[in-house]
């Protein structure tokens, strides 16, 4: 009888429903934000429901002091944002199999509430086709969300949730089954457009992507141009994105549109020179395997409001 009672107690205490959906969080760091990293980890550990497993990847730097129970790896060099996040995924087993979904969080971000994990578990459990969730990024001081942080063309209302065609890399959650059948992030991109590459492949594999305004990450307002290689990588990776994923007929339309948009934004001569160098490099340099999306995926992107020509 005693053994039977123990078994029943164990069954009763096992997570059920949404709580049975296991979450892990991957954080990459250059070791230069120890206070912010600690605050982020504390905010993840404060989430409601079962604990979110944590993994921190140090990109070519010594691992900063961390609390007990965090999975860690020190890389001998900086592999870039997608490469570092891919390593973090593997800390949860091949393609993250130890958990059901992985959160990607910037190390200078923080979850301001305690309900983000619960909302994510409920969203993934309720919709088996949901592959990726993009969070709303808000400035911690003003609460404002920049237009570029709303992953759709109609970005005037950041408080409106919707289906979208891409996601925000440092404020997102990806179901691990997506990695199984669509692959991980393109490590060769190093920085810029790696999320759209994965998003297009996920959509082509039949997954859906949601922008959830109620899942919030606080992050200081910054400019992406603060990265030294921003203009070069944006242009090079835009070409790679098209070469890897678009039907041949759409590639010149997509890249031609972005070339004209770049000119219309009137970048400085130095910025345009770097952008043009990256655009040329995108054609010269290898970009990885080409897997053009199906035309029905092109139509799906179009119905979602973002045809792959812009």
Give yes or no for a contact between 190 and 80, defined as CB atoms under 8 angstroms apart.
yes
Q: How many percent of the chain have pLDDT more than 90?
A: 91
Residue 259 burial (CB < 10 Å; 0-12/13-18/19+)?
A: middle
Please check whether residues 201 and 294 belong to one and the same domain. Answer: no
Q: What is the pLDDT of residue 5?
A: 38
Residues 130 and 259 grouped into a single domain: no
100/168 same-domain check: yes
213 and 243 housed in the same domain: no
What is the model's pLDDT at position 13? Answer: 58
**Tokens linked to 288:** 């990885």
Query: In this predicted model, what pLDDT tens digit does every residue of 160-177 receive, in sequence order?
Result: 999 999 999 999 999 999
88 contact partners, CB below 8 Å, separation of at least 6 = 26, 27, 28, 55, 56, 57, 73, 102, 104
Q: Which of 192, 222, 252 is the last residue of a domain?
A: 222
Confidence of residue 16 (pLDDT cuts 50, 70, 90): confident
- Is there a domain that residue 286 lies in? yes
Q: Is the dihedral of CA 55, 86, 232, 241 positive or negative?
A: negative
Q: Domain check: are 44 and 130 in the same one?
A: yes
Asked whether residue 221 carries a pLDDT value surpassing 90, the answer given is no
3 in any annotated domain: no
Segment 116-142, tens digit of pLDDT: 999 999 999 999 999 999 999 999 999
Q: Does residue 91 form part of some domain?
A: yes
Q: Give the pLDDT of residue 227.
A: 56
* 4 occurs within a structural domain: no
From CA 236, how far away is CA 277, in angstroms rounded? Answer: 8
| pLDDT exceeds cutoff 60 at 151 | yes
Residue 7 maps to a domain: no
Answer whether residue 37 is part of any domain: yes
| Residues of the domain holding 158 | 12-222
Residues 64 and 183 in one domain: yes
**Tally of structural domains, the chain:** 2
In a domain, 110, yes or no: yes
Instruction: Retrieve residue 243's tokens.
Output: 């070469």
Helix axes 251-264, 230-245, angle to 10 degrees: 160
Return the pLDDT at 19.
96
Q: Which of 193, 222, 251 is the last residue of a domain?
A: 222
- In a shared domain, residues 99 and 245: no
Do 137 and 80 lie in one domain? The reply is: yes
Q: Are residues 274 and 218 in the same domain?
A: no
Average pLDDT over residues 178-200: 97
Collapsing DSSP to helix, strand or coil, 216 comes out as strand
Asked if 81 and 181 sit in the same domain, the reply is yes
Average pLDDT over the chain, rounded to whole? Answer: 93
Q: Which of 203, 222, 241 is the last residue of a domain?
A: 222
- What is the model's pLDDT at position 15? 81
Q: Which helix (DSSP H) or strand (DSSP E) does residue 261 occupy?
A: helix 251-264
Where residue 135 sits, what CATH number does that domain have? 3.90.550.60
Please check whether residue 121 is in contact with residue 47, taking contact to mean a CB–CB distance below 8 angstroms.
Answer: no
Q: What is the pLDDT of residue 208?
A: 98
Under a CB-based contact definition with an 8 Å cutoff, are residues 57 and 88 in contact? Answer: yes
Among residues 171, 153, 178, 148, the alpha carbon closest in space to that of 163 is found at 153
How many CA atoms does the CB half-sphere of 199 hold within 13 Å? 27
Q: How far apart are CA 173 and CA 52, in angstroms?
A: 12
pLDDT band at 1 (very low <50, low <70, confident <90, very high): very low
Residue 273 has pLDDT above 80, yes or no: yes
My answer on whether 179 and 119 are in the same domain is yes
Q: Is the pLDDT of residue 12 over 70?
A: no
Lookup result for tokens 């959509």: 203
Give percent above pLDDT 70 in the chain: 94
What angle is formed at CA 144 by the lines to CA 138 and CA 150, rounded to 5 degrees? 65
User: What pLDDT does residue 7 have?
Assistant: 40
Place of tokens 């504390």: 42
Residue 267: inside a domain: yes
pLDDT one-digit tens code per residue, 20-67: 999 999 999 999 999 999 999 999 999 999 999 999 999 999 999 999
Is the same domain home to 116 and 248? no
């Amino acid at each position: 009888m005693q053994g039977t009672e123990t078994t029943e107690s164990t069954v009763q205490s096992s997570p059920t429903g949404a709580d049975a959906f296991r979450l892990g969080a991957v954080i990459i760091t250059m070791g230069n934000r120890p206070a912010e990293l600690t605050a982020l980890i504390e905010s993840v550990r404060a989430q409601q429901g079962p604990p979110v497993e944590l993994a921190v990847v140090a990109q070519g730097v010594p691992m900063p002091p961390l609390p007990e129970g965090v999975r860690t790896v020190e890389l001998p060099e900086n592999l870039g944002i997608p490469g570092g996040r891919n390593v973090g995924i593997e800390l949860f087993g091949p393609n993250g199999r130890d958990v059901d979904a992985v959160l990607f969080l910037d190390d200078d971000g923080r979850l301001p509430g305690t309900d983000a994990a619960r909302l994510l578990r409920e969203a993934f459990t309720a919709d088996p086709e949901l592959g990726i969730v993009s969070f709303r990024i808000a400035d911690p001081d003003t609460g404002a969300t920049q237009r570029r942080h709303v992953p759709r063309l109609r970005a005037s209302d950041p408080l409106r949730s919707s289906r979208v065609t891409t996601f925000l890399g440092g404020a997102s959650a990806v179901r691990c089954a997506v990695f199984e059948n669509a692959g991980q992030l393109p490590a060769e991109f190093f920085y810029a457009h790696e999320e759209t590459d994965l998003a297009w492949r996920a959509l082509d594999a039949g997954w859906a992507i949601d922008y959830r305004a109620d899942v919030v990450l606080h992050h200081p307002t910054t400019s992406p141009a603060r990265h030294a290689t921003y203009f070069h990588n944006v242009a090079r990776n835009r070409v790679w994105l098209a070469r890897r994923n678009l039907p041949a007929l759409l590639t010149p339309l997509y890249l031609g549109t972005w070339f004209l948009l770049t000119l219309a934004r009137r970048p400085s001569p130095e910025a345009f020179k770097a952008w043009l160098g990256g655009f040329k490099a995108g054609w010269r340099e290898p970009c990885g395997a080409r897997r053009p999306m199906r035309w029905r995926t092109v139509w799906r992107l179009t119905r979602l409001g973002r045809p792959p020509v812009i």
